Amino acid sequence: MNKKNLLALTEEWVIFAYIIKWVTLATIIGAIVGAAIALFLNVLHTGIHESSKFPYYFLLLPLALFLNILISKYLLPDAQGHGTEKVIEAVHKQSGYINPLVVPVKAVSTIITIVSGGSVGKEGPSAQIGAGLASIFSNIFRFDKEDRKKLVICGISAGFSAVFGTPIAGAIFGVEVLVVGNVLYDVLLPSFVAGMISHQVATSLGIEYAYFPIQVDMGFNIPIYLEILLAGLFFGAVSFLFIEGMKWAEKLVKKINVWSPLKGIMGGFLLIGLTLIFSTDYLGLGLPTIEKSLTGFHIIWYAFLVKILFTWVTLSFGGSGGIVTPIFFIGATAGIFFSNIVGGNTTFFAGLGFVSLLAGTANTPIAAIIMAMELFGPSILPYATITCVTCFLFTGHRSAFPSQKLGINKASSIMAETGNELDHDHDTHFKYKTRRRIITSLNVAKYFRIYEVFNRKNNNNKNK
């Protein structure tokens, strides 16, 4: 055997060993996370069931938010917020290291928030629990930083897969959510394995998932294409509203100069007032409304706006939980609103909104497209592809997860610095430059010069 053949054979053995290693590790992580998420979901759903027996359970919101801020301020700051954001930050800044206390504390604080009526989701904590368990596993067996990061990403995928029953979308979400526009292919195989194993373990432990097959038989022509494109733009505008409004709400709450746990009490009373004005439909996970939207029931036209408001208040005033479930609520009900405007099929547009808002707010269009197929069936896929990608682009260089890193420019005429985080003040950290040839082609420069001359003459006249 010559040297060239020997090197080729060695390469194949190395790759074979790599595959065996990561399939084995991903299987272990998937099983651990699947069991943990099943326990978390069972406790959460039991708590929701018991609290719903009391008509005014939401009166506990001030106490719940007060306790959450106490926990995050004095016990574990990493338990603050919506979970996925902290995991992304840990991968980028701490090589995947997550404080082991995050797992129990995040689970407890999220259950407190949701059971009392806080408008948050269960997926962010599930992703953080999965990532935390993977970090603990890697620390026990002394994996290096790179392997730990990969295991934590597998934990994210496993958590997302187990909480929604979408193993393929969950796997893609874990490798797509970290860097906008880039899929981490070196973690693709273990993420798929972890997601599938986690889903199977959770299912075997009694977790049930809801699927909503949507049959689409309207064909594909120019009017439908334009309608779908318009829907994508509308969902992008809703994503923009949610993200920018969340930033505004957090800044506003920070300006309130009181002891931070008291802000939780204030936020709780604000949510009580909103509930008495509207209804309890916008509290907690909002799963009944999501199901109604996807099965053709009547939903009031402004439901998506009210849910946005409830979510802003809950998270900015110290609530603990995810944002993806509220995003599903907002997307599905926004789809109902859009369908009423264009006279379209309500369940069809509710399904498109459901996944498109995920693509826009989380910058995960591929995961959202695959989720559309897993939840709603293959016939919706061509339409969901257009709305998800359009929503992803229209949202711009912003995210519900500001620790995401920018991997691409979403438009060739915008030059943003890649490799930086999409933090809350991204406009001050990213320099945008419109290409000169586009300005020239639109003749904008000439109008700017005319305006400057006109303005100068007016100023001179005023001085005289």
pLDDT tens digits, one per residue of 74-112: 777 766 666 678 888 888 888 888 888 888 888 899 999
Find out whether 267 and 256 touch, Cβ atoms under 8 Å: no
98 and 11 together in one domain: yes
- For residue 72, with 0-12 CB atoms within 10 Å meaning exposed, 13-18 middle and 19 or more buried, which class applies? buried
73 and 158 together in one domain: yes
- For residue 6, with 0-12 CB atoms within 10 Å meaning exposed, 13-18 middle and 19 or more buried, which class applies? exposed
Q: For 154-212, what is each residue's pLDDT tens digit?
A: 999 999 999 999 999 999 999 999 998 888 898 999 999 999 999 999 999 999 998 99
Looking at residue 417, its pLDDT comes to 74
Residue (of 457, 82, 65, 108) closest to 268 by Cα position: 65
390 and 261 together in one domain: yes
In angstroms, rounded to a whole number, what is the distance separating the alpha carbons of residues 290 and 17?
45
- For residue 30, with 0-12 CB atoms within 10 Å meaning exposed, 13-18 middle and 19 or more buried, which class applies? buried
Looking at residue 218, its pLDDT comes to 73
Looking at residue 460, its pLDDT comes to 55
- Count: domains in the chain: 2
Indicate whether 237 belongs to any domain: yes
Looking at residue 375, its pLDDT comes to 95
Indicate whether 413 belongs to any domain: no
Looking at residue 160, its pLDDT comes to 93
Looking at residue 435, its pLDDT comes to 47
Find out whether 369 and 384 touch, Cβ atoms under 8 Å: yes
92 and 239 together in one domain: no
Indicate whether 456 belongs to any domain: no
In angstroms, rounded to a whole number, what is the distance separating the alpha carbons of residues 271 and 8?
64
| 3-class SS string, 137-153 | HHHHCCCCHHHHHHHHH
CA distances from 230 to 226, 236, 312 (A): 6, 10, 26
Indicate whether 376 belongs to any domain: yes
Looking at residue 410, its pLDDT comes to 84
The residue whose two tokens read 């943990």 is 36
Half-sphere exposure of 182 (CA within 13 A, CB side): 14
363 and 312 together in one domain: yes
Q: Report the CATH number at residue 342.
A: 1.10.3080.10
94 and 242 together in one domain: no
pLDDT in tens, the chain (464 residues): 556 665 556 778 888 889 999 999 999 999 999 999 999 999 999 999 999 899 999 999 999 999 989 888 777 776 666 667 888 888 888 888 888 888 888 889 999 999 999 999 998 889 889 999 999 999 999 999 999 999 999 999 999 999 999 999 999 999 999 998 888 898 999 999 999 999 999 999 999 998 999 988 777 788 889 999 999 999 999 999 999 999 999 999 999 999 989 999 999 999 999 999 999 999 999 999 999 999 989 899 999 999 999 999 999 998 988 899 999 999 999 999 999 999 989 999 999 999 999 999 999 999 999 999 999 999 999 999 999 999 999 998 889 988 888 888 887 777 777 777 776 444 544 454 544 444 443 444 444 444 444 455 555 554 54
Among 405, 420, 441, residue at a domain's last position: 405
Domain extent for 149: 3-204
16 and 161 together in one domain: yes
| 3-class SS string, the chain | CCHHHHHHHHHHHHHHHHHHHHHHHHHHHHHHHHHHHHHHHHHHHHHHHHHCCCCCHHHHHHHHHHHHHHHHHHHCHHHCCCCHHHHHHHHHHCCCCCCCCHHHHHHHHHHHHHHCCCCCECHHHHHHHHHHHHHHHHHHCCCCHHHHHHHHHHHHHHHHHHHHCCHHHHHHHHHHCCEECCCCHHHHHHHHHHHHHHHHHHHHCCCCCCCCCCCCCCCCCHHHHHHHHHHHHHHHHHHHHHHHHHHHHHHHHHCCCCCHHHHHHHHHHHHHHHHHHCCHHHCCCCHHHHHHHHCCCCCCCCHHHHHHHHHHHHHHCCCCCECHHHHHHHHHHHHHHHHHHHCCCHHHHHHHHHHHHHHHHHCCHHHHHHHHHHHHCHHHHHHHHHHHHHHHHHCCCCCCCCCCEECCCCCCCCCCCCCCECCCCHHHHCCCCCCHHHHHHHCHHHHHHHHHHHHHHHHHHHHC
Among 352, 375, 405, residue at a domain's last position: 405
288 and 328 together in one domain: yes
Q: What global pTM score does this model have?
A: 0.89
Residue (of 129, 60, 93) closest to 271 by Cα position: 60
Looking at residue 5, its pLDDT comes to 60
229 and 174 together in one domain: no
Looking at residue 431, its pLDDT comes to 52
Looking at residue 432, its pLDDT comes to 47
Looking at residue 167, its pLDDT comes to 93
Indicate whether 420 belongs to any domain: no
Among 150, 172, 204, residue at a domain's last position: 204
Indicate whether 445 belongs to any domain: no
Indicate whether 102 belongs to any domain: yes
Looking at residue 80, its pLDDT comes to 67
133 and 248 together in one domain: no
Indicate whether 384 belongs to any domain: yes
The residue whose two tokens read 């620790």 is 403
Q: What single letter denotes the amino acid at residue 403?
A: S
60 and 190 together in one domain: yes
Looking at residue 403, its pLDDT comes to 86
Looking at residue 445, its pLDDT comes to 43
183 and 228 together in one domain: no
